[in-house]
Structure 1
């Protein structure tokens, strides 16, 4: 099982549409709502799609919409990876 870290998530988020240039993704973002980071629902879905592609993890669309923070996304990814193994 490949563990996805906050740094992995940061790299994907930086590459996705929606990044607010005034937001420091290198800061303590784990519990900051995606909206406050400048990510709308489309950008969050794009982030999840890239994670799914690159890390072979499945996050159901209905769950993606309910993930408010990077921590919630990482928890869902870890849950999905654990269920798959």
Structure 2
């Protein structure tokens, strides 16, 4: 995978933590904290572990918790992904 996208993250969120019926994860959520989206720290640990397993990266706690944003999470993952040729 060359780049991790917000759509990739949303897929991981749905798989690991589910989605509230009243929430549109496909909307403009990039700058909304995970807490404001309804995800607590336990949910974000599940999401983070799934992303780590899928991509073979190790993510720091800072930047992946409930106070992080999807945009920040995606940016962090992309910084840690090995460059592809």
Structure 1's 33 and 62: CA in aligned 2 closer, same or farther, altered over 3 A?
closer
Alignment of 1:72 with 2:72, yes or no, is yes
Whose helix proportion is higher, 1 or 2?
1
Gaps of 5+ in 1: none
Aligned with 1:7: secondary structure? Answer: helix
1:2 Cα deviation from its structure 2 partner: 2.6
Deviation track 1:3-61 (CA, whole Å, cap 9, x = no partner) reads 11111111111112253221101111111110111110111111111011111121023
After TM superposition, the runs of 4+ consecutive aligned structure 1 residues lying more than 6 A away are none
TM-score normalised by structure 1 residue count: 0.82
What is the RMSD of the two structures over their aligned residues, measured on CA atoms?
A: 2.0
Corresponding position of 1:56: 56
Moved more, 10-19 or 62-71: 62-71
Q: Normalised by the size of structure 2, how large is the TM-score?
A: 0.82
